[in-house]
Each structure stands twice: as C-alpha cells, then as structure tokens.
Structure 1
Amino acid sequence: MSALPMNSTDSLDWTDICAVDDILPNTGVCALVADLHVAVFRTGSDQFFAIDNVDPKSGASVLSRGLIGSLSGRVVVASPLYKNHFDLQTGECLEMPEHSVRTYSVRALRGRVSVAGAPAA
C-alpha cells in the first residue's frame, strides 16, 4: 500500500522501520514487524509498499532483494530466486496466484517509514 496519511490509520499499531532516506529509490529493505519478515520498498516516485519478505516458492526471506519494475501498469518486485513477480499493491503473484503474499500498510511521516503490525485487509 502507498504511504498513508496519519488520520486514516490512527487505530493501527505501527512499527518504526527507518528514516525515509535509508531506503534508496527503487530498492527494498527487510524489517521485523510483529515477528514477521516484511519487505519494505521505495519506488522511484517515492511511493512506499510493504509485503511479506518470504518467497512462498522457496521459503527464503529474500523478496526485499528483488528488482522493482512494472508489468502491465502494475508496480511489481521480481523474486531474486525464481523470478516470479509480486504486485506491490495487492501481493498477487502474477505467474502463480496461489503463491501470493500478504501486504501491509506503510507510511512515510516526518521523515520516518513505519509499517502496520498486521497484514492489510
């Protein structure tokens, strides 16, 4: 999910991840949020997204190391292992929908990136 204004998500429990500038454009980082490995991405247009970091096909915690791009108008990350593409807004695996991942609410506020502790609905 893209960065959200604070008033629309006040009821969520947020985990502070890092400074906005710690995530370079078009890259991702891994964070531990409520005991889950979460991949947090920053696009070149300064949008932020968060999905599960574990690649469902391999079980390895590697999605944060994938390449960000776009396919058919969707912002995606390609898994570094099997090259499956995951939609950063929905978590859908484009090649194998049964391998889709969860998404998390993420916000950039006052120069800090935070992720909600529970997967987005």
Structure 2
Amino acid sequence: MTIAADQQTLIRVCRVDDLEVERGRAALFGTTQIALFLLEDGTVHAVANLDPYSGANVISRGIVGSRGEAPTVASPMHKQVFDLRSGECLDAQGKEPIALRTWPVTIVDGVVHLEAEDLG
C-alpha cells in the first residue's frame, strides 16, 4: 500500500508493534532487502540488509549498540560497526570503509513507512 504525504510516496512496511526493541527485522521490496531497527527511544531506522564486506544479507541479525551518541549495529559476519542514522562504517577493521544504504522512516498512526524511491 502506498500513500502520498508531503509529495512523497511512502510504502507501508509494518506496525511499530511488530518490531522488538534492539532486534532487527528484515523486509523485502522486490530485490531490495532492508533491515529495520526499533530503538529504546522509539525511533526506527532502516538500512540495507546486505553486509557490504561479506556480501550476505545479515545486517538485521546484527548486534545493536552505540558509539557515543550514535546508535549502531555490528555485522554478525565480520563485526564492522555501522551508524544506524547515516549507514557510515565506524569500524572498518583495516578495510576500506563502505557505508550501508539508509532510508528515511516515517511513522504514521503506529505504522512504519519508507520512502518509495529506489525500492526494488
């Protein structure tokens, strides 16, 4: 289902109640896998589920934490740490840093929506 809001097309993903605090959930849109994370403060972040270092769709299984003020997820494969707000790799472990793609999240009446742009 898509809705128009402020000239953006939003895609309904799930209810906030379907998410568990600090546990990732994967969503599939065409060929694009997205990892969703609900944080303690009620914010929801959406990043690519594809680990850029291993090539596996596993980010939703990562460990949620923080670095300073940045909410983070650590890849379960090689433990690189990514900022959930920007996708920036904070711990490339000697490798070239590669960022995760992020999507803006909008919550409307308890339902999580993503901007439809570039969703598979």
Q: TM-score range by the shorter chain?
A: 0.7 to 0.9
TM-score (norm 2): 0.84
SS, match of residue 117 in structure 2: strand
Q: Which sections of structure 2, spanning at least 5 residues, go unmatched?
A: none
Output the aligned Cα RMSD.
2.0
Tell me what 2:81 maps to: 85
CA–CA distance in structure 1, aligned partners of residues 81 and 64 of structure 2: 9
C-alpha displacement at 1:34, in angstroms?
Answer: 5.2
Deviation at 1:88, TM superposition (A): 0.6
Unaligned runs of at least 5 residues, structure 1: 1-6
Taking only the aligned residue pairs, the percentage that are identical comes to 36
| Structure ID, larger Rg | 2
Number of aligned residues: 113
Detail structure 1 runs of 4+ shifted over 2 Å in the superposition: 9-13
| Residue 68 of structure 2 is aligned to residue 72 of structure 1 | yes
Q: Name 2:110's counterpart in structure 1.
A: 111
Q: Report the secondary structure of 1:13's partner residue.
A: strand
- Compare relative contact order (CA 8 Å, sep 6+) and give the higher one, 1 or 2: 1
Q: What's 2:12 paired with?
A: 16
Q: Does the 8 Å CA contact 1:34/1:118 hold for their aligned counterparts?
A: no
The residue type equivalent to 1:65 in the other structure is R
Query: Residue 73 of structure 1: CA displacement?
Result: 1.9
Determine which structure has the larger helix proportion and give its number: 1
Report the TM-score when normalising by structure 1.
0.84
